[in-house]
Each structure stands twice: as C-alpha cells, then as structure tokens.
Structure 1
Amino acid sequence: MAFDFIEQQLQARRNEGLYRACQTMTGPQGRLVKVADKTYLNFSSNDYLGLASDPALIKAWQSGAELYGVGSGGSYLVTGYNQVHADLTAQLKSWLGVEALALFSSGYSANQAIIKLLLGKNDLLIQDKLNHASLMEAGTFADCKMVRFKHNDMANLSQLLNKQKGSAANKLIISEGVFSMDGDCAPIGLLAEQAKNNDAWLMIDDAHGLGVLGKNGQGSVVDAGLKNSDMQIYMATFGKALGVGGAFVAGSQEFIDYLTNFSKPYIYTTGLPPAMAYTIGQAAHMAETQSWRRDKLQHLISSFRTLCADNAIQLGESNTAIQPIIIGSSQQTVALAQQLKKLGFWTTAIRPPTVPVDSARLRITLTTNHEVDDIKSLVTAIRRVLDEL
C-alpha cells in the first residue's frame, strides 16, 4: 500500500525503545497524579511553582469566565483582543520590565512565528545545539542559513560568527535561558556581548526560567544580572511555572508592531480565551509576589542534589528544578522509569530525538508542591532500581 512506511517507521520506533503514547491522567495536576486508578508521586511536571491546581487560580478562571466569557471569538486583530488581554499585557510589561509584548497560544507557535517573520535567504540564524525543537524546526523551515554552536560554548560561537562575518544581512542568535532537558543555564551575559560585538540580535527563550529565577521571578536574564529589555527578543510561556498555558513575545514597540502586522501565526490564530488571560494575570501576580515558592523550590533542589550525591547517583550540572539522570541507553532508561512507576513514582524517560543519541535520561522535575520526604523516597527508589538493573 502507498502508506506502508507508516507501520514500518512505527515498528522501528518500537524496536529502538523510542515508541511514544499518551498516558491518560485523571484529576488535577499536582504532587500526586492518578493514572489507571493508581496514584503516583509526580516527578515529571513543569508546574515548578505548584500553581496549576492552586485554589486561587481555579477561582480566577471561574471569575474570568463570569466576567469575560470563555472563548475570545476570533483572532486578536478581529474580535479576539478583550480588555483582559490588554490588562494582562500591561501587567507583564510592568513585571518583566519590557517595552512591548504580544500574546501567543503556545511557545511553539511563538518561536515558529519569530523565526519565520524575521529571517530570509540572506540572513543567518545561530542556535545553541541544545535549543528546543520548536526553535530548531523553525530554523530548518525558514529560508535563512542556520548554524549551531556547541552547547554554551562561547569560543565556538565566536568562531562561527567570525566565519560568517559579512555573509549575512541580518543575524539572530538564539538560546534557551534554562535548557529544558539538561536544566543548566545559558551564559546570557556572554551571549549579549557576542551579539553586540557582531551586530546581531539576541533572543532568549525563557520557558523554564520565568517565575523560577531572578528577582521576583523575572527570569533567567535578570538572574544573570541583565534586564529583559536588554534582549532584542525575550519570550516565555505561561504553561510551566505559571501553571496555565499560552506564551508571549517581548521586545521593542517597533518589533512588536512589526510582529502584529506581518506574523501570520499571530494574525490568523484565535486569541487566548479571556478567562485564561485573566487566570494568567493572577498566576503572574502570585509568581511575582510569593517568593516563598521559589525559596522552597531551591531548598528542595539542594536537598535532592545532596541526597543523590550521598547515594552515588550522578546528575547533570543543573541547579534548577530540572534534574536529569543521564543513562545513555533508551531501553535501560525506559526500564528504569517503568520500575519506578511500579514503586509509585511517576518519572519520564526522555529519549532521542528529543535528546542526542546515547544520552537518554530520566528527567526529574521538582516543584514547590513536593516535600523533602518525597525526595528522600524517590532517591532511595532510584538507587534501588539502578542496583537491580
């Protein structure tokens, strides 16, 4: 048949231990999750500040629906931009210290929109090798030339920029603030120097840094000692530490005006539901003002790393809520995750192509909802399963 390749490729995924399928969870996202009538301690969520099921946000969504309805009714440039969207935009600008901002339905869509909008065949895109798939895919689809520098390697970035000098009309350097699979942070100050010295724009994708790092949760750029407004493009999502969904892109007023006039993903996508925008505003306020959430999370991170060291469990170089345990083999990583599930721990095996070949890992994520006893139990279980395997 014409589509035999579908079954062939699916079978190849199964044989390589790379097959994926959704797991249906029931009930709210939180410290505990229920799958197929079994309850697990959840160590796979990006809900770093424990906001996704917070009663205040549930109430905010209900209030937002009563005040503004559920659906936005259209794209932002038609009927989809409600006063609540304008209020959220103003709030985020004030919190993050940026000049202008545009809302998007997802971080994936926002990243695709930026690269497609800005870069043409005479332009250069330079990305950290471990950037998110949304950035990499957009780069392959764009007409521009794309090169990748070794992860967080400023010498390699400098070499590539020198090699490409004079060959591109416009240059855009992109890095994540906190890398989603490794949990380490970008050297944003050094990236900004490279961009300035080479007349390039710098974009930071701070999906995993917003709310968690920096003064009042302002993110990775502020944590690095700079201002978000120092970045030509700063984007992040509301679906990680803020616990809701959607994303934004920030920059100069001229850049955001250009985006809203020429970006097809922005122009032709239905606006965020007003009730959702209202909830995001409440989540942003909580992230900004409730510093105890970040303090507790940092204590949990330190406890986890200390306990792993005491139990000879090797971790990556991460001081964030993302704590990878590199196994290497996809099959062994899946086996480790499956055994932990039998012991009541929900952890996720991350495999190629999400991460490089031979770097499959158990991606442990910590949230404010966890307690130290939860972490002690997890580390004990990991050590036990590693010994058995």
Structure 2
Amino acid sequence: MAKALDSFLEENLKLLKDQGLYNEIDVIDGANGPVIEISGKRLINLSSNNYLGLATNPLLKEAAKRAVDQYGVGAGAVRTINGTLDLHQQLEEKIAEFKGTEAAISYQSGFNCNMAAISAVMGKDDCILSDQLNHASIIDGCRLSKAKIVAYTHSDMDDLRKKAKEAAESGHYRKIMVITDGVFSMDGDLAKLPDIVEIAKEFDLITYVDDAHGSGVTGNGRGTVKHFGLEKDIDFQMGTLSKAIGVVGGYVAGKKALIEWLKVRSRPFLFSTAVPPGDVAATIAAIDMLMQSSERTEKLWENGNYFKEGLKRLGFNIGNSETPITPCIIGDEKLTQRFAKRLLEEGVYAKAIVYPTVPKGTGRIRNMPTASHTKEMLDEALAIYEKVGRELLGV
C-alpha cells in the first residue's frame, strides 16, 4: 500500500472511532424479518426498511423462482441493447398505474435513479432548489448535474419562496427545479408538497419528489404525492423498490415524454445491466398486492403509532415524525452509539444514526416498526427501551 494512503486511512479511521462516528456493520444470520439473529443472538429488529414485510413474503418468493426458471438469473445486457425483457416492460406499466402517471422507467437502485434522472434533465445553465435534509443520493445527483445548487432551510416555505424568486428573477438559468424527499427518512416528517406545488406554479419550477420512504406507506400505499392528491402537479415521482416494496431497484414516474428522455439520456439506464428477472417478477407481485389491498399499510401504521406512543409515554424525544419512522433522539454521538449497543445487548436491534447521516449533535436511534411486528414484540422492545433509558438517560 502507498504510504500516503496508509497514513490517510489510519489517521481518519481513528478519528471516526474517537468521535463516535465509526459505523460497524453487523451480519444477519438468515432473513431480515421482524426478529433476526446476529451471531446466534435473537433480536427484535427495529432497523429494517422492509416496512410491509414483503421481503420475505412467500408469494414474492414464488414469483421470483418462477421467473428464474423461465428467464434465468440475469438480464444479460443493458436495457438499450437487449436487456429489456417483457417483465421490465410489465413492471414499468405497473408502476405507472400504481403512481397514477402516463409512464415510468425502472432503475437498478434508488440511489442511481437519483444520479440518473436529475443529471439527465438539469445542467450547468440550470438551478436546483434542494431541501437541506434531502437524501445523499439527491445531493450527489444534483452535484453530478453541474447545475447551481441552492439549499433551502428544511421545509421552510418562506425560504423556498425567497430563493425561488431570486433564482427566477436573476435571469441566469434556463430551468429551475425544486427537489425534496416526500418522507424524510431520519425524522419521519412529510414534505409540504401543497405549498411546494404552489410556489412551483408561481415561478415555473420543475418539481421532483423522492418518495423512497413514502411508497407503500403514505397515501394508502400509493405514496406522498397521492396522499396530497398532487399526481397531476409533480413532474418527477421517484421512488425505490427496496423498502416497502421489499425487493430492489428504483423508478421515476411521470409524463411519457419525460420517461422517453430518461431512457435515451440517463446514464445508469444506458450503461448498467438490467435488474435480474427474478427481482422484477417479485416487484410486480408486490405492487399487485398493494394495489389490491391496503391491509399491510394499515397494519404498519397501527404498529408505528403504538410504538410511538409507547416511547413518548416513557419520556423519550421522538421529534416531529408524521409516519411510522420513529426517531429516538439522544443528541451526543458517543452516547447514541452506547445506547444502541445496550439495546443490542438486551435484545433490540436498532441502529445508532449519527453524522454525516444526520447533523452533528442530533444523534438518534432510528426505529422502524413494520407490519410484521406483533404487539408482543413491540411491548418487549419498549420494556428494553425503558430499562436502557433509565440506565443511560435517567428517563
């Protein structure tokens, strides 16, 4: 190893560990369900984004197996050569129907979806107004576009209006986009989409909503745009297929012309092998389930509200969450890491979330009750929270 690299790694890894910012990766023995095993220890799992429990659903597994038998384990090429199977077309038609748009395009992951879509439309002569707490993939997609990036204070509509007005009246930009998460994954709050749409109409802004944590959760499962009834007002509805949907991938849903453009100009679509057929078939099955019934989504909300009320009753700070995502805000990074470790020792797997995922000084345990948890599991987790809270925080 080069001396410069060796020195860089040693110094900076030590720094992260000293500051409580080093993230240790745990290996799960088996499936990622409501209860998991790590190193042979049973743990109530409150860290998964498998919101509806579909990642282990028997019907999805059967759909994947049938597709593997028929199509094989890989798509064999990028979408634009000969990697587009009839399954990919079926999936995109299904997503468009699910999201209430003219068309949709699917990608290999939510992260590269944002990298692809933003940079395919926005360029160096454009401006992007981005919520201060947007996901890292949005931030990286904006940077890749080379557009002027203007961050506005989180969900502050006065600040957004001010910056939209400045950008529009400057005469410097060909296009201006406003981009926001639909559900903010670390706090659980919703974007103020009606206000954003109003400002966008006033200043002719392109609207882009990353609903990775809203699809399957809000709007009776159809997402945050549907929750507010704004399907006709949002230009880009982006989401993932790896959270509530339970499989893997990402998508953009919108007007047919937008999707046509993304299929010829978004680089991850053009230069990455297509999603394997088994995953595509499982995703189609998952979306079919959500379109046929909201039972899983209702159970998710029931469990989320139950756990939220339990933590509040115990005296924990859960912030301003409006969704089943339930942060337990500790603050200090080292204390947050210690709290998560004690939860683990007592039987709850809930990861510490610290900088740079959240701002410094706002470390929290991110809890995600799912539709698969039983009340008994949640009660057991709350009892452990009570014990650890008394020990470390005096609550």
**2:201 & 2:9 partners in 1: Cα distance?**
47
Q: Structure 2 matches for 1:1-389, cutoff 5 A?
A: 1-3=3-5, 4-165=7-168, 166-215=171-220, 217-227=221-231, 229-389=232-392
Which amino acid is the alignment partner of residue 225 of structure 1?
G
Report if the CA contact (8 A) 2:95-2:253 is conserved: no
Report if the CA contact (8 A) 2:115-2:144 is conserved: no
C-alpha displacement of 1:94: 1.6
Report if the CA contact (8 A) 1:211-1:288 is conserved: no
Q: Deviations over 1:178-229 (max 9, x none)?
A: 11111111111111111111111000000000011113x11001111222x4
Which amino acid is the alignment partner of residue 90 of structure 2?
D
**1:280 & 1:100 partners in 2: Cα distance?**
17
Q: Deviations over 1:5-49 (max 9, x none)?
A: 121111110111111232111111101111111111100000111
Which amino acid is the alignment partner of residue 355 of structure 1?
V
Gaps of 5+ in 1: none
C-alpha displacement of 1:87: 1.1
C-alpha displacement of 1:151: 0.9
Report if the CA contact (8 A) 2:318-2:327 is conserved: yes
Which amino acid is the alignment partner of residue 229 of structure 2?
G
C-alpha displacement of 1:167: 2.6
**2:252 & 2:370 partners in 1: Cα distance?**
25
Which amino acid is the alignment partner of residue 193 of structure 1?
E
Count of residue correspondences: 387
Q: Deviations over 1:254-295 (max 9, x none)?
A: 111111111211111100111211110001111222311111
Q: What TM-score results when the alignment is normalised by the length of structure 1?
A: 0.97
**2:311 & 2:266 partners in 1: Cα distance?**
46
C-alpha displacement of 1:63: 1.0
Which amino acid is the alignment partner of residue 36 of structure 1?
S
Identity %: 34
Report if the CA contact (8 A) 1:313-1:383 is conserved: no
C-alpha displacement of 1:327: 0.9
**1:24 & 1:137 partners in 2: Cα distance?**
28
Q: Deviations over 1:135-186 (max 9, x none)?
A: 1122233311101111111011011112222331100110011111111111
Report if the CA contact (8 A) 2:183-2:191 is conserved: yes
Secondary structure at the counterpart of residue 178 of structure 1: coil
Secondary structure at the counterpart of residue 147 of structure 1: strand
**1:180 & 1:309 partners in 2: Cα distance?**
19
**1:79 & 1:164 partners in 2: Cα distance?**
42
Which amino acid is the alignment partner of residue 157 of structure 1?
L
**2:299 & 2:141 partners in 1: Cα distance?**
36
C-alpha displacement of 1:320: 1.2
Which amino acid is the alignment partner of residue 49 of structure 2?
N
Report if the CA contact (8 A) 1:301-1:319 is conserved: no
Two-structure CA RMSD over aligned residues (Å): 1.2
Which amino acid is the alignment partner of residue 196 of structure 2?
L
Which amino acid is the alignment partner of residue 317 of structure 2?
Q
Gaps of 5+ in 2: none
